[in-house]
Amino acid sequence: MHAADRLRYSILLSGKTLLQDSPILDEDRSADARVATKVLDTKGRTVDQSVEPAVRQKFASLREHYNELRLELAGNYAVVFRAFTRAWPIE
């Protein structure tokens, strides 16, 4: 994640770049939205839980597993990134 004049992010998988310097905010946004380029705080967490879908399909529950990064930004903004692993049924 880069926070200079605007927020941009890159995605890598096993060291290979999949997406590079992609902007989060549209360049045509107001100056107020550009204040959000200052990162005030970061919070990371990992979620690994069983989820029971409202409409049961082939399996009664699925595994929800991801890493999350939340960036608290100036101007009362926040951005949340989630990287999901492959979900598979819990038997």
For residue 47, pLDDT over 90 is answered with yes
Average pLDDT over the chain, rounded to an integer: 80
Q: Would you say residue 91 lies in a domain?
A: no
For residue 5, pLDDT over 70 is answered with no
Q: Would you say residue 55 lies in a domain?
A: yes
Residues in the chain: 91
Structural domain boundaries enclosing 6: 2-84
Q: Would you say residue 89 lies in a domain?
A: no
* Total number of domains constituting the chain: 1
pTM of the full structure: 0.70
